[in-house]
Structure 1
Amino acid sequence: MRRITVVGGGFAGLTAAITAADSGARVTLREAHRTLGGRARTAEGPYRANEGPHAIYSGGPHWAWLKQQGLLGPVVAVPALEATRLRLHLGGQLRRTPPLALLKLARRPAGQAPVGQDFLSWATSQVGEAGARAAAHYTGVALYHHDPGSLSAAFVHARLRRAASLPPEAHFVRGGWGNLIDRMATRARDLGVRIETGDRVSELPTAEGPVIVATSLDAARHLLGESSLRWPSGRSTLVDIALRTRRGDAWVISDLDAPGWIERFTAQDPTLAPAGEQLIQAQLPIGPDESKADGIAHAERLLDLGFPGWRDRLTWRSSSVAEGRTGAVDPPGTTWRDRPAIRRGDGVFLAGDQTAAPGMLAEVSFNSAIEAAALALTSSGLEVAP
C-alpha cells in the first residue's frame, strides 16, 4: 500500500491524518516546527494563551466528529453570571444591550443576504446605516477583518447569525486548544501515524503516494509553486494580558464603533492563569496601512473602559500580529467555492482555513481536511471509514 503524507501538523493536518489512518492507510505526518498545533498551539507556562480566542462552536461539524472520536475532552461554556457582564462599546461608551437593529439583522433568516452585494449596503437597506455598521463591527469576533462591511453580505450575515445565537454556540477547550492537539496527536500515533516534527518539507514526496498539504496558504503556495494560491484574509493585533483579579471586571467588550473584541477567558476556564489572576485576550483588526501599535492602542482604550486600574494590576503581557492566519474572507460576488480548490492534481490535495470548503473559523480547516483525506484515500483504493 502506498503511503499518504500529510504536510503540516496543525488542526487540519491532524484531522486528515487521523481520518486516513482510521480508514486503513499508512500515514506519515511531517511538521516543520518542533511542536504540533499550528495556530491551535497554546502557550506554555502559567498563562495558557491561545493564538487568538479559539472558541469551538457546538453547531459545527468538527464538534460532532471530535465527540465521536473521543477527542473533544472537557469543554466549558460561559457561566450565566459572567454572561451578564457582556459590554458593547458604542458611541464611545459601554452599554449592556445591543442595538435593536443588530438583533433584527441577526434574526433575519439564513439565505436572505445576497452574495453579490457588500454587507454594509445590504444591511443599511434593512435597518439603516448606524445599525448596519454596528452589526458589521460585531462580526469582527468571527472575521478578524478591519472592514467586515465591505465583504459579501451572505458571508458576513451567516457569521453574524452564529456569533449572536442564543444559547451561545461558543465553547472552550479546558486548558486551551493545546490539550485538544495533544489528544489528537495521541490518537494519530495509536492509529499508526508516523509523526515527524522539526521536519521542514521542501519538495513534495509524491512518489511515495498522495500528499495532503495542510499548511498556511502562503506556505502551500511556495511549496507547490502555484502563484494562484491566494485568497484574502484578515489582519489583527492580538494582545494577551494577565491581571490580578478584581470583582466587577467585564467579561467581554465588543466594539461596535470599530471591529474589536476583548474577552476575559478565565471567566469560563480559571485554569488558564494562576490563582488570583485572570487571562484576557484581545483581537483588534488592523487595516493595510495600520501597525501593531495601532491595534495595541485600540485595545488599551477598551481596557481603560472595562477593566479600571488594569495597568496597576498587570502581571504579564504579550502581543503579536496575525496576518493571513485568521481564515478566509469572501469579497462580494464570491463564496467558499471560489477559494483555492482542495484537489490540486497529481495526487496532491490542499487543506486549511483558506480553501474551498464551507464553515466558520476552524470548521473550514476541518471540512477541507476530511475532504482531502477522502480524496487521498480514494486515489489509494481505500474508502473513508464510517
Structure 2
Amino acid sequence: MHRITVIGGGFAGLTAAITAAEAGAKVTVYEAHHTLGGRARTADGPYRANEGPHALYSGGPHWTWLQQRDLIGPLAPVPLLEPARLRLHHKGALRRTLPFALLKLLRRSSRQAPVDTDFMSWAAAQAGEEGARAAAHYSAVTLFHHDPGSLSAAFVQQRLRRAANPLSEARHPLGGWADVIDRMAARAWNLGVRIETLARVDALPEGHGPVVVATSLDAARRLLKDDSLTWTGGRTALLDLALRTRRGDAFAVSDLDAPGRLEWFRAQDRTPARAREQLVQGQIPIAPHESRADGIARAEHLLDLAFTGWRERVTWRREAVARGRTGAVDLPGTSWRDRPGIDRGDGVYLAGDQVAAPGVLSEVSFNSALEAVTLAFGIRRRLDLKQARG
C-alpha cells in the first residue's frame, strides 16, 4: 500500500487526501491549526461569515468531483430576480447596467487576449480606455487584486468572462464553506485518512515517502527552504456587517471606478444572519502602500450609496486585512505554467492556489492537488483535468 503525507488541511490538502485514499493509499494529514479549512473556514457564532466572500463555480472541474461524492451539500437558491438589484458604481454614481464598452469585451466572440501584454493596453485598443478600466475593475470579483489592468491580458480576460454572469455559475453552500470542509473531512476519515490538527510541521522527516505540501506558498517556502517558491498575489481589506433588513437594499455592488465588491448573503442563504438581519461581506483590494483604513473607507462609501442608513442598522461588524487572497495572479509574459511547479523532486509535491495548475481561484487548488497525487503515485496515464469539468 502506498503511504503519503499531506501537510495542510485546507481545500487542497483534503482534496489530495481523499484522492490518495480512494486510490488505496494510507494517508496522514497534518494541520497546524486546531480546525481544518485554511481560507475556506467559516466563522463560528450567529453569523456564518466566510473569510471573505466565497462561491463555488459550477462550471469548474471541482464542482463535478465534489458533486459525485455528495460533498457540496444543500445550496442557497439561485436568486433569479436579483440581477435587477445588482448595482454598479461607475463615474461616482450607482447604475443598473454595464457600460457598452465593457459589454464589447465580454462577448465570447471577442478576440483572444495575448499573454504578453497587460490587460489595460490590450482592452483599451479593443474598447477604449474607459471601457478597459471598467472591465479591469469588474474582474476584481474573481481577482481581488488592486490593479487588474497591469496583469496579463489573457489572465484577466478569462476571469472577466467567468465573472460576466455570476448567477449562471456562482453557487453558495448553505452554512458557508465550513460545511463543505466538514463533509470532506468526514469522507477522508471514513476512507481511513489519519488527520492530526495542532500539528505544525517544521521539517520533512528523514526517509519520508511522498509528501504533498498543501500550505500557503509562504509556508511552503519556509518548510522546504526554497527561496524560488514565490509568486505575485495581493492584499484585501475585509468588511463583514450584519444589518437590519431594509426593503430596497442592493443585492450586490460592483465597483467599476476601483476594484471592489460588496455582496448581500441573506438573499441566498437564510442561515448566515439572525432573523430580520442580512449579512453583507465586502472585499476591497488594497495596494502595498495602502492601509486597512483605506480599503474600509472605500467599502463604506459603497455602503453609503447602496444601503441607506446602514450605520444605524449595524448589529455586528468585523474588519480584517487578508494577504494572498487572490491566489496566483499572472503578470504580462507569464501564465499558470510559469508558477512554481508541482513536482519539487525527491518525492515532494506542491498543491494550492499559487502553483502551476490551471483554473480560477480554488480550482487551482483542486487541479494541483489531483496532479500532485497522480505524480506521487507515478500513474502513467494522468487524469485529464478537462474531462473533470463533466
TM-score, normalising length from structure 2?
0.96
Aligned partner of 1:376 in structure 2 is 376
Partner of 2:271, secondary structure, is helix
50-59 or 338-347, larger mean C-alpha shift: 50-59
Query: What letter is aligned with 1:320?
Result: A
> In 1, Cα distance between the equivalents of 2:42 and 2:63?
19
Residue correspondence of structure 1 range 113-262 to structure 2 within 5 A: 113-165=113-165, 168-205=168-205, 207-262=207-262
Aligned partner of 2:104 in structure 1 is 104
Query: What letter is aligned with 1:275?
Result: A
Once the two structures are TM-superposed, the CA of residue 2 in structure 1 deviates from its matched residue by 4.5
Once the two structures are TM-superposed, the CA of residue 208 in structure 1 deviates from its matched residue by 3.6
Aligned partner of 1:305 in structure 2 is 305
Partner of 1:168, secondary structure, is helix
1:88-126 per-residue CA deviation (whole Å, 9 max, x = no partner) reads: 000110000010111110114477101010000000000
Contact 1:209 1:347 (C-alpha < 8 Å) held by counterparts: yes
Partner of 1:173, secondary structure, is coil
Partner of 1:80, secondary structure, is coil
Instruction: Quote the RMSD (CA, aligned, Å).
Output: 1.6
1:191–1:383 Cα change, 3 Å: farther
Query: What letter is aligned with 1:356?
Result: A
1:237-279 per-residue CA deviation (whole Å, 9 max, x = no partner) reads: 0110100111110000000000010000111111111111100
> In 2, Cα distance between the equivalents of 1:26 and 1:90?
54
> In 1, Cα distance between the equivalents of 2:65 and 2:33?
26
Once the two structures are TM-superposed, the CA of residue 205 in structure 1 deviates from its matched residue by 2.8
Once the two structures are TM-superposed, the CA of residue 328 in structure 1 deviates from its matched residue by 0.4
> In 1, Cα distance between the equivalents of 2:136 and 2:227?
31
Query: What letter is aligned with 1:290?
Result: E
Once the two structures are TM-superposed, the CA of residue 74 in structure 1 deviates from its matched residue by 1.1
Once the two structures are TM-superposed, the CA of residue 382 in structure 1 deviates from its matched residue by 12
> In 1, Cα distance between the equivalents of 2:157 and 2:109?
10
Once the two structures are TM-superposed, the CA of residue 206 in structure 1 deviates from its matched residue by 5.5
Contact 1:32 1:197 (C-alpha < 8 Å) held by counterparts: yes
> In 1, Cα distance between the equivalents of 2:87 and 2:166?
16
Contact 1:159 1:360 (C-alpha < 8 Å) held by counterparts: yes
> In 2, Cα distance between the equivalents of 1:134 and 1:356?
29
Contact 1:206 1:348 (C-alpha < 8 Å) held by counterparts: no
Query: What letter is aligned with 1:312?
Result: E
Aligned partner of 2:33 in structure 1 is 33
Once the two structures are TM-superposed, the CA of residue 77 in structure 1 deviates from its matched residue by 4.4
> In 1, Cα distance between the equivalents of 2:225 and 2:170?
37
Partner of 1:284, secondary structure, is strand
Partner of 1:326, secondary structure, is coil
Is it true that 1:83 corresponds to 2:109 in the alignment? no
TM-score, normalising length from structure 1?
0.97
Residue correspondence of structure 1 range 349-364 to structure 2 within 5 A: 349-364=349-364
1:6–1:166 Cα change, 3 Å: closer
Query: What letter is aligned with 1:188?
Result: A
Partner of 1:28, secondary structure, is strand
Report percent identity of matched pairs: 68
Partner of 1:14, secondary structure, is helix
Query: What letter is aligned with 1:148?
Result: P
Once the two structures are TM-superposed, the CA of residue 336 in structure 1 deviates from its matched residue by 0.1
> In 2, Cα distance between the equivalents of 1:261 and 1:202?
37
Contact 1:106 1:164 (C-alpha < 8 Å) held by counterparts: yes
1:382–1:105 Cα change, 3 Å: closer
Aligned partner of 2:293 in structure 1 is 293
1:46-84 per-residue CA deviation (whole Å, 9 max, x = no partner) reads: 011101111100100000000111111112243122221
Residue correspondence of structure 1 range 320-339 to structure 2 within 5 A: 320-339=320-339
Partner of 1:29, secondary structure, is strand
Once the two structures are TM-superposed, the CA of residue 326 in structure 1 deviates from its matched residue by 2.6
> In 2, Cα distance between the equivalents of 1:149 and 1:63?
29
Contact 1:236 1:284 (C-alpha < 8 Å) held by counterparts: yes
Partner of 1:266, secondary structure, is coil
Contact 2:27 2:193 (C-alpha < 8 Å) held by counterparts: yes
Once the two structures are TM-superposed, the CA of residue 376 in structure 1 deviates from its matched residue by 1.4
Partner of 2:81, secondary structure, is helix
Aligned residues, how many? Answer: 384
1:110–1:51 Cα change, 3 Å: farther
Contact 1:116 1:153 (C-alpha < 8 Å) held by counterparts: yes
> In 2, Cα distance between the equivalents of 1:71 and 1:125?
44
1:183-227 per-residue CA deviation (whole Å, 9 max, x = no partner) reads: 000000000000000000011136241000000000000000000
1:112-153 per-residue CA deviation (whole Å, 9 max, x = no partner) reads: 101010000000000100010000000111111000000000
Query: What letter is aligned with 1:317?
Result: R
261-270 or 103-112, larger mean C-alpha shift: 103-112
> In 1, Cα distance between the equivalents of 2:44 and 2:167?
32
69-78 or 173-182, larger mean C-alpha shift: 69-78
Aligned partner of 1:272 in structure 2 is 272
Contact 2:2 2:24 (C-alpha < 8 Å) held by counterparts: no
Contact 2:233 2:327 (C-alpha < 8 Å) held by counterparts: yes
Query: What letter is aligned with 1:327?
Result: G
> In 2, Cα distance between the equivalents of 1:340 and 1:81?
42
Once the two structures are TM-superposed, the CA of residue 13 in structure 1 deviates from its matched residue by 0.2
Gaps of 5+ in 2: none
Partner of 2:323, secondary structure, is strand
Contact 1:117 1:153 (C-alpha < 8 Å) held by counterparts: yes
1:110–1:351 Cα change, 3 Å: farther
> In 1, Cα distance between the equivalents of 2:204 and 2:111?
40
